[in-house]
Amino acid sequence: MMQLIAYPPRSEWSELLKRPAASAQSLERAVEEVFTAVRENGDQAVCDFTRQFDGVSLESPVLPETEISRLAELVPGHLRDAIDLAYENIRQFHEAQKTPAVRVQTRPGVDCWQEKKPIDKVGIYIPGGTAPLFSTVLMLAIPAAIAGCREVVLCSPPDQAGNLHPAICYAARKCGVRTVCRAGGIQAIAAMTYGTREIPAVYKIFGPGNQYVTQAKQRAVREGVAIDMPAGPSEVLVAADDSANPAYIAADLLSQAEHGRDSQVLLLTDDAELPGAVRRELETMLRELPRREIASDAIDNSRMILLESSGEIAEMINQYAPEHLIICHRQEEFLLREIRNAGSVFLGNLTPESAGDYASGTNHTLPTNGYARQYSGVNLDSFTKAITYQRLSDRGVREIGPAIITMAEAEGLSAHALAMKLRVADLHEIPNKKEKEDA
């Protein structure tokens, strides 16, 4: 059960807020082995590792379109309706993130502008196994489609029959994803990094995963492939006081704990009675939870921390930088003003973290492991890059040409200076020629 730490001194905060982590050295060895094999042996290596890690023998890692359609048709009507509702909300929220081109005349005759262009080829990784996250298909494929990405490659680990969950296939088909691959873990990231005969290489890889997937994505960066963020095991921090419902808090903590044994959940409070009430609810709910063994292990590695004030709560939140932050506290306005580091925030007793996971419209692919200090969650801009443009007229050359020449010469870059000197000289010649002709 979650350990309670009461009024810890600040000197102990860093130790209390450490995330569970595997040995980086062992992760790197495993990732390097798989990347080398996939680079050298392509699809065969992908299938070999799928047999080794998932216990499934496949002829091909790619799921044929006819099979995608067949599996999609197996989704029951009530689940289709739920996915359709979530699709519309996520699409609406991400459509609203479109921004017009930025145009500025920095000096007379100097026009500068910026336009966003889609990343042509993106890969989306969808965790599978014991919890096939078909909702992640919506979170990644919808903004990819809105951005205008030309090719989307989906990879997800197969089940014991060598198939993907029907809801993954339904969501993929609804979002227009045509390349769907039965490959998970390190081998999927490696395949999208290098490309194989059947799995296309991509320019950027998106999607959550365990520590092996996270390490593999970071390895992909060394091969020139961008990633959304180094997202790892899921986490939630709940900041609450006596205005919160203990049962709601317990359910919110368990909703993250059931993701995996390496998930971490935290409760911060300045109310001494709340931890006991939440613990009682956790004990009751865990007995009924289908994934109770996984959730129990995560809960055992997590903490309730009793603090002196809402000010200390805000400080600890910023230090921890949670992936998900739930605030059920009378000082909500103060906390929102003070908090700078969080992936996504859920406010009030009626807003569970699962709302953002599925259907409110915000994206659930978020920075974990403290990366919310410097990374945003996935959004429409994640699937685009900005290109800047500029055009100088003769007036523009006269306005900024001398400054450019001066700066280039001061840096010792003579050719840079020459490029502008030639243009300045030609513009001086044009009026001179006209004067001679008039004479």
Q: Is 363 annotated as a binding residue?
A: no
**CA angle, 317 then 323 then 324, to 5°:** 80
Q: Strands across the sheet with 384-392, in order? A: 102-107, 110-118, 384-392
Q: Is 97 annotated as a binding residue?
A: no
Nearest 5°: phi and psi at 341? -125, 105
Q: Is 256 annotated as a binding residue?
A: yes
Reply yes or no on whether 324 is catalytic: yes
Burial degree of 112 (CB within 10 A; 0-12, 13-18, 19+)? middle
Residue 415: CB atoms within 10 A of its CB come to 7
d(CA 232, CA 262): 9
d(CA 135, CA 85): 12
> 146, 258, 155: which is closest to 206 by C-alpha?
155
Per the residue annotation, which of 324, 329, 353, 364 is the catalytic one? 324
Q: Is 94 annotated as a binding residue?
A: no
Q: Is 187 annotated as a binding residue?
A: yes
Which 3 state secondary structure label does DSSP give 343?
A: coil
Question: Which tokens go with 439?
Answer: 């004479």
Amino acid at 303: R
Asked if 152 and 28 count as a contact pair (C-beta separation under 8 A), the reply is no
Per the residue annotation, which of 235, 323, 329, 364 is the catalytic one? 323
Q: Is 234 annotated as a binding residue?
A: yes
Question: Which tokens go with 256?
Answer: 């993250």
Q: Is 78 annotated as a binding residue?
A: no
d(CA 83, CA 70): 17
The H or E element containing residue 107 is strand 102-107
Reply yes or no on whether 329 is catalytic: no
Q: Is 320 annotated as a binding residue?
A: no
Residues forming the active site: 323-324
* Binding residue numbers for substrate: 234, 256, 259, 324, 357, 411, 416
Binding-site members are 125, 187, 210, 234, 256, 259, 324, 357, 411, 416
Which positions make up the binding site for NAD(+)?
Answer: 125, 187, 210
